[in-house]
Amino acid sequence: METLRHADLEGDPASGRTALAGNGKPLSITLPLPARAASVPVARAHLFSALAAWKVTSPDVCDDAGLVLSELTANAVSAACETAIPLILVRVSYAAGALLIEVTDPCPGAPPALTPHASADAESGRGLQIVTALASRWGCYPLGAWKCVWAHIPAGHPSSTGTAVRAGNVGRAA
């Protein structure tokens, strides 16, 4: 399985392809959150505030990122509730015209396999299908006794008017 980490967003600042903070690092937010359902809207609110500050304002990109973050956060909350550590970590980075959403939980196993056809009345089983549909790619990697599930979302580059130009969706995971 492919592993994409925060460092993979760091590009060559001279190329003009990387959105960087004044210190030359990718723009990012990191949030430790309790493993509770109420953390999902908190994470989403922080995401939308960060996107606005980074001038990533395309409604499509913001909606896609919000939905992907919500799904990954809900999955992490569910996994963390099965452990003795009721905590998750959300990190969102923006660089090189892309968002990297990383959600870490204290359950070391890989996320459940995709459910190809969840029944119409099923209350779960569609989250990773949504992530697959909206992210250009996603995956999971171990972090000791924890795991990190990540998704990469093309976000374009902020224009002079502050609106991000949406990049095409290429190479979606199947």
Provide the 10 A C-beta neighbour count for residue 159.
12
More confident site: 45 or 79: 45
Number of domains in the chain: 1
**pLDDT for residue 125:** 62
More confident site: 51 or 158: 51
Q: Is residue 9 part of a domain?
A: no
Rounded mean pLDDT of the chain? 77
Range of the domain at 81: 33-154
Measure the CA–CA gap between 107 and 26, rounded to whole angstroms.
27
pLDDT band (50, 70, 90) for residue 10: very low
Measure the CA–CA gap between 9 and 27, rounded to whole angstroms.
10
pLDDT, one tens digit per residue, over 27-67 is 999 999 999 999 999 999 999 999 999 999 999 999 999 99
Question: Which range among 46-55, 123-132, 139-148, 161-170 shows the weakest confidence by mean pLDDT?
Answer: 161-170
User: Whole-structure pTM over 0.85, yes or no?
Assistant: no
pLDDT band (50, 70, 90) for residue 157: low
Q: Is residue 118 part of a domain?
A: yes
Question: What whole-number percentage of the chain has pLDDT above 90?
Answer: 53
Measure the CA–CA gap between 159 and 81, rounded to whole angstroms.
41
Q: Is residue 136 part of a domain?
A: yes
Q: Is residue 8 part of a domain?
A: no
**Tokens linked to 82:** 């099965």
Measure the CA–CA gap between 62 and 119, rounded to whole angstroms.
28
Q: Is residue 166 part of a domain?
A: no
Residue 44 sits in a domain of what CATH number?
3.30.565.10
Q: Is residue 85 part of a domain?
A: yes
More confident site: 138 or 110: 138
Question: What whole-number percentage of the chain has pLDDT above 70?
Answer: 67
Q: Is residue 142 part of a domain?
A: yes
**pLDDT for residue 156:** 76
Q: Is residue 46 part of a domain?
A: yes
pLDDT band (50, 70, 90) for residue 23: low
